[in-house]
Structure formats: C-alpha cells, structure tokens
Chains A and B, each alone.
Chain A
Amino acid sequence: EIVMTQSPATLSVSPGERATLSCRASQSVSSNLAWYQQKPGQAPRLLIYGASTRATGIPARFSGSGSGTEFTLTISSLQSEDFAVYYCQQYNNWPPLTFGPGTKVDIK
C-alpha cells in the first residue's frame, strides 16, 4: 500500500498571501496524483488531477506540480473561500486508493 503524507498539518496564511502545501508518496506514483478541497460540512471537491491539471471550473490561482514521490499544491493568492482542508490522493498503484491526512489552511 502506498502511504501518503502531507505537510504541514496546519498552515496559517493571511488573505492575499501565497500558500504552498506538500504531499509525499512512500513510493513513486508517477503523475497519478489528485488534490481535493474540503470545507466543513461539505463533500470533497476535485481541484487537480494528473498532478498538475486543473479540474473544470477551478480558478487559475490553484496550481499543482511534482511527479514521482514529491508534489506541491500552490494557491497563489488566498481568497476567503480557500480556507479549507486539502487532501492529496494517489491513483497510480491501487487498490487501495490512498489519501494523505490533509493540510488545514486557516486564517492567520
């Protein structure tokens, strides 16, 4: 099973600032990595797939990069609606599909 880790667990950012979230896989997942955003009481929302492709309707301030075992989600200028929990997920080697533990982005 591929284990996903994310850092930091919590990221405190001021609106308008840049946020950089990290995700690491225990073995290579190539570019088969997705990022999701989840707000309290809501279902996860797909942001990025293929490590760097934005899903339909996702603003350009969200960008993904990386391959192999190291990945990054960058939010270029945080808006109020971006404060949420972000999960990475690998789909290269499954079952099982595995998620990281999440990074909470909160207001500084």
Chain B
Amino acid sequence: EVQLAESGGGLVQPGGSLRLSCAASGFTFSSYSMNWVRQAPGKGLEWLSYISVTGDTIYYADSVKGRFTISRDNAKNSLYLQMNSLRDEDTAVYYCARDRGYSTYWGQGTLVTVSS
C-alpha cells in the first residue's frame, strides 16, 4: 500500500524556519517525482514545488521561490521542504504528493502555523 506521511509542522514565529519531511513507503520512491502542495485554512489548493526522481529538475511557485527549498533522499525514501523566512500567509496544511503532473497519492498533511 502506498503511504506518504508528512511531519515537521508546528507553530513558528514570522521570519522563522521549519523543515518538513515526507516519509514514503509501499512503492519505489526513487522512481517517482514528488511535489509539495499546501492549503491555507478554509482555502483551496496551492502547488508549491516539484522535484524529479534524481533531484536534477526542481521547480517552485513564485510565492515561495527563494525562501523554500525542496530536496529528497532516495536512500531514505524521504522528501523534504526547508522553509525559511516564514510569513503569516504561509500558515497552511502542507501535503506531499506523488507523481509528475497530476498526483495519484497524497499524504495526510502537516499543519504549519506562522504566528507571533
């Protein structure tokens, strides 16, 4: 069974940093591209970042470019999102999602709250 499990969310002050992790199981992680998508409270879905299977192709949404960094460790079956210079508007549930283009599998999400 494919499983994606995010962790690392929590309460952080504006300007602070967090590192999110996504642990993958039930499939060959190194064969699949991955994405991060977020959802602010009561709002819709916002794509944030994409990473290819080897990590040589990476894309970001303009809203996080220069502040967030996506990475992966295929040996550990893990995806990461380093988030720096966090703002109030980054408050959201953050999902990792598998596949290039449309996402067949999603984790349950981890809540990031940016507040003083």
Contacts and interface: CB of A to CB of B under 8 A. Distances in A.
Interface string A22-59: 00000000001010101000111110010000010000
B64 to A, nearest CB: 10
Interface stretch (B8-16, B18-26, B74-82, B102-110): B102-110
What is the interface residue range for chain A against chain B? 20 to 34
A34 B102 contact: yes
The binding surface of chain A is classed by DSSP as: loop
B50 interface: yes
B46 A99 contact: yes
Interface residues of B, number: 21
Interface string A81-104: 000000101010011111111100
Given A87-B44, A95-B61, A99-B46, A43 B102 contact: no
B106 A99 contact: no
A44 B97 CA distance: 10
Contact of B101 (A36, A91, A98, A101): A91
A96 B47 contact: yes
A48 to B, nearest CB: 9
A76 to B, nearest CB: 22
Interface string B12-54: 0000000000000000000000010000000011110010000
A5 to B, nearest CB: 12
Given A32-B101, A91-B100, 4 more contacts: A43-B95, A87-B45, A99-B45, A99-B47
Interface of A: 32, 34, 36, 38, 42-46, 49, 55, 87, 89, 91, 94-102
